[in-house]
């Protein structure tokens, strides 16, 4: 399954610098170099040190990491919901992503003019929120109109749906994002077809200056305080540093560069990992002499669903899965040794896949 994240932010917050750093980043494996699908879309590999361990043990012909797609969603300005900037194109792009990466300016630089003349991360965030909320209200109002006629005829289900829609409408009208509403599964089902923009899970990227990359600054702290009710993760990142990292090809040189700033990994790597946590994703592996490959699935998926990511026939004709835990593979160093030690398990349709499982599926169609 593909993971698609949209990068949003007001002009001059560092969004384009961050996306360009992604564009220039060298992938972990030559099989999946960063590529541009459209001018504003790129694919980069997901860093996973377990792949390198499995490669050293299996010595396959090729290694295929899983990938993440980033979309640079341009054109958001105040009034986007009414067609300002790129308007509807921008909002349409957001509907297609799994998660939103919201870049917020938390640095001062007289050479980079702020659209409102001063650095105010909470205000910047609220501008984007308002535009998305207005568009969501339009979607909900249209659906309410469709149900009104049916409800007036006495249809109980329509009346119930209207009550649920009104709950979302009131929440949005009060300046809240849909994701912060405490609603039942049934209530969320009523708005599922609307693909509400403010229901998308979000990560806030506080773009700070170099000297604040470790501990943040007053602006990043204000942002954290402003979003604490959303239960959203706030990551510190310095787009300028990421741009420099992206130009380095040698891993030792990159490590030394990070060390100078007291960092153990790049901000982009942290962003990718945070995106996986946000969407409750995990990775399992297939390993053989032809290839070692990472596969992305939802946490909690059972073996047949995981098999279906490889091919629908695997899920349809699923018989069983041969499973080795990553730590066992790492300890015994080969599939044969794992089997001899009795550490391979044979699992059926109810097996819930764990992060890091090495799996081989048996199927028949």
Annotation: binding site for ATP: 12-17
Rounded CA separation 254/246 (Å): 9
Rounded CA separation 70/7 (Å): 7
Rounded CA separation 65/79 (Å): 40
| Nearest partner of 120 among 198, 202, 206, judged by Cα | 206
The continuous run of DSSP H or E covering 31 comes out as none
State the alpha helices, DSSP H only, in the chain: 15-24, 49-58, 88-95, 121-152, 156-173, 185-191, 218-227, 239-246, 251-260, 267-278, 303-310, 312-316, 326-332, 335-340
In order, the DSSP letters of 115-129 are TTSS--HHHHHHHHH
List the structure tokens of 196: 């509400």
State the CB neighbour count (10 A cutoff) for residue 158.
Answer: 17
Rounded CA separation 303/352 (Å): 6
Q: Summarize the annotated binding site as residue ranges.
A: 12-17
Which three-class secondary structure state does DSSP give residue 262? coil
């Amino acid at each position: 399954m593909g993971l698609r994240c949209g990068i949003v932010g007001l002009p001059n917050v560092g969004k384009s610098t961050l996306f360009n750093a992604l564009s220039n980043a060298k992938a972990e494996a030559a099989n999946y170099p960063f590529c541009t699908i459209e001018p504003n879309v790129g694919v980069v590999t997901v860093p996973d040190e377990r792949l390198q361990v499995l490669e050293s043990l299996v010595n396959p012909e090729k290694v295929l990491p899983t990938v993440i797609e980033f979309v640079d969603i341009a054109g958001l300005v105040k009034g986007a919901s009414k067609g300002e900037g790129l308007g509807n194109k921008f909002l349409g792009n957001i509907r297609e992503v799994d998660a939103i990466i919201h870049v917020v300016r938390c640095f001062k630089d007289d050479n980079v003019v702020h659209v409102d003349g001063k650095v105010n991360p909470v205000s910047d965030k609220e501008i984007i929120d308002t535009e998305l909320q207005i568009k969501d209200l339009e979607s909900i109002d249209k659906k309410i109109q469709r149900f009104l006629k049916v409800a007036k005829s006495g249809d109980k289900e329509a009346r119930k749906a209207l009550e649920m829609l009104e709950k979302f409408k009131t929440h949005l009208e009060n300046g809240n994002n849909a994701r912060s509403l405490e609603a039942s599964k049934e209530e969320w089902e009523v708005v599922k077809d609307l693909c509400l923009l403010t229901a998308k899970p979000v990560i806030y990227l506080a773009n700070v200056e170099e000297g604040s990359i470790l501990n943040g600054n007053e602006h990043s702290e204000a942002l954290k305080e402003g979003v604490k009710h959303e239960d959203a993760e706030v990551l510190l990142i310095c787009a300028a540093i990421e741009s420099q990292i992206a130009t380095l090809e040698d891993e030792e040189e990159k490590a030394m560069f990070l060390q100078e700033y007291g960092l153990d990994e790049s901000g982009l790597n942290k962003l990718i990992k945070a995106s996986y946590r946000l969407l409750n994703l995990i990775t399992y592996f297939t390993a053989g002499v032809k290839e070692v490959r990472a596969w992305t699935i939802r946490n909690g998926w059972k073996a047949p669903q995981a098999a279906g990511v490889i091919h629908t026939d695997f899920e349809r004709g699923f018989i069983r899965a041969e499973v080795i835990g990553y730590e066992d593979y790492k300890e015994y160093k080969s599939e044969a040794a794992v089997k001899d030690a009795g550490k391979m398990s044979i699992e059926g349709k109810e097996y819930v896949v764990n992060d890091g499982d090495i799996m081989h599926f048996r199927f028949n169609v």
